[in-house]
């Protein structure tokens, strides 16, 4: 199985901050990576697919980059509604695998 390692596992930041979350794959996955946001009690929401394509309706402050084994999700200017848990998902090979999640909290 391809292991996805996210870092950090948790972080705190302030409104307006620029934040980057990274995801490392245990082997190359080309650009078959998605990022999800999940708020407590809510269904996960896909933000980014194909490593850098913005899902329709998602604010442009979210961006994704990377290829191969190293990926990142960047929020350019944190908004109050962005405090949530973020997950990466590789879909290059079965079984698909999620990262362990990054909990983003308010500082």
Partner 1 sequence: EVQLVQSGEEVKKPGESLKISCKGSGYRFTSYWIAWVRQMPGKGLEWMGIIYPADSDTRYSPSFQGQVTISADKSISTAFLQWNSLKASDTAIYYCAISGGSTDYWGQGTLVTVSS
* Contact predicate 11/72, CB 8 Å: no
Q: Which residues pair with 19 in a beta bridge?
A: 75
Tell me the window of 13-21, 22-30, 36-44, 69-77 that interacts with partner 1 (CB under 8 A).
36-44
Closest to partner 1 by CB, 12 vs 53, is 53
Q: Which residues pair with 9 in a beta bridge?
A: none
Closest to partner 1 by CB, 35 vs 66, is 35
57 contacts partner 1 (rule: CB under 8 A) = no
| Cα–Cα distance for residue pair 39/14, rounded to 1 Å | 17
| Cα–Cα distance for residue pair 7/93, rounded to 1 Å | 22
Q: Which of residues 65-94 bind partner 1 (CB under 8 A)?
A: 85, 87, 89, 91, 94
Closest to partner 1 by CB, 45 vs 61, is 45
């Amino acid at each position: 199985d391809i292991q996805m390692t996210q870092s950090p596992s948790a972080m705190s930041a302030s409104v307006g901050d620029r934040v980057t979350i990274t995801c490392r794959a245990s082997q190359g996955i080309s650009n078959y990576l998605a990022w999800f946001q999940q708020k407590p009690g809510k269904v996960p929401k896909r933000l980014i697919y194909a490593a850098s394509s913005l899902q329709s309706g998602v604010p442009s402050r979210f961006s994704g980059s990377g290829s191969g084994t190293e990926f990142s999700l960047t929020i350019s200017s944190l908004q109050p509604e962005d405090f949530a848990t973020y997950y990466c998902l590789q879909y290059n090979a079965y079984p698909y695998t999620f990262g362990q999640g990054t909990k983003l909290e308010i500082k």
